[in-house]
């Protein structure tokens, strides 16, 4: 009995450690609107890696002070970059971006900006229907919640509400599984 309790306790500690690691390293975000279509759709639920090194083309979940909400947008310009938009062509530091993720090329802009320190220049993938740095200006790098890594809706078919329902069930299975794993089966 004591042996089973010890196994259950170790399994419980493992489960708790896993939960704390997930809470420390990951954050979630919801996609609202069609600004990231076709990469993300309205209602998609995204798992984001907290504060790691941000690079060009990453999709980030970032808080917009002006809109008072979290946005999911693609990183086009990092601090110090020169971003030029001419028609529907985007250049960063003189190099034209290859953007195979864009499906709608029916947008046209004219913009020339140098990204300030501690800021990011962000664009939605659906450029004709996106409120992004073209309108909002560069957003503070300190408002980044995380880098989008997994579209939970596409991979598992779960929205935020479905995820809320399944997570407690998963933790119970882990805890009970650890307890049941400790039982000896005899023939």
Residues with active-site annotation? 35, 73
What does the angle CA 148 – CA 51 – CA 168 come to, to the nearest 5 degrees?
65
Rounded Cα–Cα distance for residues 161 and 113 (Å): 40
Phi/psi region, residue 87 (left: phi>0; alpha: psi -120 to 50; beta: rest), is: left
- Which pair of tokens denotes residue 122? 């962000």
Instruction: Look at strands 26-30 and 119-123 and give their pairing.
Output: unpaired
Phi/psi region, residue 95 (left: phi>0; alpha: psi -120 to 50; beta: rest), is: beta
As a whole number of Å, the CA-based R_g of the chain is 22
């Amino acid at each position: 009995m004591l042996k089973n309790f010890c196994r259950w306790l170790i399994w419980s500690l493992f489960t708790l450690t896993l939960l704390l690691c997930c809470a420390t390293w990951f954050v979630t975000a919801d996609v609202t609107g069609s600004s990231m279509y076709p990469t993300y759709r309205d209602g998609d639920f995204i798992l984001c890696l907290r504060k790691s090194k941000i690079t060009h083309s990453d999709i980030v979940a970032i808080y917009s002070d002006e809109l008072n909400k979290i946005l999911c947008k693609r990183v086009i310009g990092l601090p110090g970059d020169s971003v030029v938009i001419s028609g529907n062509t985007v250049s960063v530091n003189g190099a034209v971006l290859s953007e195979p993720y864009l499906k709608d090329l029916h947008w046209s802009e004219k913009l020339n900006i140098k990204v300030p320190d501690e800021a990011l220049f962000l664009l939605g993938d659906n450029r004709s229907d996106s409120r992004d740095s073209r309108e909002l200006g560069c957003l503070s790098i300190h408002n980044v919640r995380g880098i989008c890594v997994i579209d939970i809706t596409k991979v598992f078919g779960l929205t935020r509400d479905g995820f809320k329902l399944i997570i407690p069930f998963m933790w119970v299975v882990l805890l009970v599984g650890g307890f049941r794993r400790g039982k000896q089966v005899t023939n």
